[in-house]
Chains A and B, each alone.
Chain A
Amino acid sequence: MNDQDFPNIFDEQKDDYSYNPIRKKKLERSNHNRIITGICAGIGKYFNTDVSVIRIIAVLSLLFGLWSVVVYFILSLTVSAELETRIISDEEKELQIKLNFRTVTSGVLMLSGIYFGFSSFGFQFLQFQLFLSGGIFSGIVLIGIGIFLYTSNSQTTALLNPPSNFNRSSTDKIITGVCGGLAKYLSIEAQTLRIAFIILTALTLGLFSILYLLLSVLVFQENLKSNDDIT
């Protein structure tokens, strides 16, 4: 008789807290989905909500001052990391990095939009709570973050296969594929680069559109056929 004839239903439900009365639902820092310490991913898992929403709330909470940073680091120190280590594929990891990058970028954009919006309506009091106001509190928070970064054991990693040539993308393109190609060359997220490009075009009275045209003419389009042959 094979083991597969009688699958162990208890093993399958190991991670599902609602079916397991013995194991309590516990707030843990995530090991596999983290940007700084994995607290947001842990909270998302605990409340069974989208992690991106928690991250956006965390970024927007900066509007109320550096208190949220302090709370974040207190939680990081008090909440233990999850014991289970989930092995994720490189593809999954890449997608996760892309999603996290988009989430943080959108959070920063929304935060700046709200901040400048409030400032233009005369709510200057926010400035005194934010980082630029300086002071003892900001200094202590910075020292705390500094100590945390200094003691964390991680190296800046080299990219595995950065493309050697800058070509216009033939798959990730809206007009001529310049942004898609440049994003691939720089190993960054194309959507964010496009938004940055639009903002810079507006700020330089359209001079960046000349850059775009220049690159569209001078940079070759990537040859997918030859890439397939290589792989």
Chain B
Amino acid sequence: MMISLKKITGIILIVSGLLFVLESFPISFLSANEIISYSLLAFGIPAVYISLNLGNRALLVFASIVFMIGILLLIQINYEIIDTRGIVFVSILLITGSISFMLFLENTSQKIFLLLAVVFLLLGYLSVTMFKKMGLLILSNKIANYAEDIWPIALLLTGLFLFLNRKK
């Protein structure tokens, strides 16, 4: 019998809730961010397994993103990363590459996803090594500085656009 993802999510939430309560007392051994990252990892692994069994690709994509964000958070907490904006750029590329690879594993006849995985993982690797030398990340940071001001308005307008066109 397939274990329900809702039950797994329920267990993860109960455990993380208990850890959050403990976090308020001095006996806690995990910080709030660590609890979140471990919860994301704990959700991601069974969700990928269940989605592969059910052939639910939307869930597979979602679970892969959740798992990768969990890893990213864990790295960010435990290691001192100077360029926090640069992480976003690299992470998007690596996460997209991983999702593409998972989609290829789910349906191996679709070689296009393997190609995408290779392209994005390679771009992710290059963004760590080459792009920094080329000054691309500096340019990215400059654009991000401008984007930061209009980001909330863009999000709000996108949300409104989607809401007003929801029945189309």
Please give the residue numbers on chain A whose beta carbons come within 8 Å of chain B beta carbons, in ascending order.
Answer: 52, 56, 99, 102-103, 105-117, 120, 132-136, 138-152, 154-159, 162, 164-166, 185-188, 191-192, 195, 199-200, 202-205, 207, 211, 214-215, 218-219
Is the beta-carbon distance between A140 and B21 smaller than 8 angstroms?
yes
Given contacts A117-B152, A147-B14, A150-B14, contact A214 B116 (CB under 8 A): yes
Is the beta-carbon distance between A136 and B92 smaller than 8 angstroms?
no
Is the beta-carbon distance between A109 and B155 smaller than 8 angstroms?
yes
| B91, chain A: closest CB distance, angstroms | 10
Is the beta-carbon distance between B139 and A205 smaller than 8 angstroms?
yes
Q: A143 contacts which chain B residues (CB < 8 A)? A: 13-14, 17-18, 21
How many residues belonging to B are interface residues under a CB distance threshold of 8 Å? 70
Is the beta-carbon distance between A132 and B14 smaller than 8 angstroms?
no
B40 near A: Cβ within 8 Å?
no
Q: Which of B4, B10, B110 contacts A148 (CB 8 A)?
A: B10
Q: Which of B24, B59, B149 contacts A156 (CB 8 A)?
A: B59
Within 8 A of A (CB), among B125-156: 136, 139-140, 143, 147-149, 151-156
B interface, by DSSP: helix, strand, loop or mixed?
A: helix
Q: List 18 A-B contacts (CB under 8 A).
A: A102-B166, A105-B162, A106-B159, A106-B166, A110-B155, A110-B160, A112-B155, A113-B158, A135-B23, A139-B18, A141-B17, A142-B14, A158-B54, A158-B55, A191-B165, A204-B93, A211-B116, A211-B120
Is the beta-carbon distance between B56 and A159 smaller than 8 angstroms?
yes
Given contacts A156-B4, A207-B123, contact A116 B152 (CB under 8 A): yes
